[in-house]
Amino acid sequence: MEFVKEFATFLHQNEIIKFGEFTLASGKKSSYYVDLRLVPSYPQEFRKMVKYLENDIAQNIGFDKFDSIVSVPTGGLIIASALAIETVKPLIYVRSKPKDYGTSKSVEGKIHDGMKVVMIDDVATTGGSVVNAIKSLKEVNVIVKDAYVIVNRMEGADKALSELGVKMHSILNILQITESLYDQNLLDESVLEKVKNQISK
Encode pLDDT of 112-159 as tens digits.
Answer: 999 999 999 999 988 888 999 999 999 999 999 999 999 999 999 999
How far is residue 43 CA from its own chain's centroid? 18
22-31 pLDDT tens trace = 998 778 889 9
Higher pLDDT, 1 or 155: 155
67-114 pLDDT tens trace = 999 999 888 999 999 999 999 999 999 997 766 666 667 899 999 999
Cβ-proximal residues to 132 (8 Å cutoff; 6+ apart), any chain: 94, 96
Separation CA 178–CA 65 (nearest Å) = 34
Asked whether 105 and 98 are in contact (CB, 8 A), the reply is: yes
Options 3.40.50.300, 3.40.50.2020, 3.30.70.580, 2.40.50.140; CATH of 2-200 = 3.40.50.2020
DSSP H helix total and E strand total for the chain = 7, 8
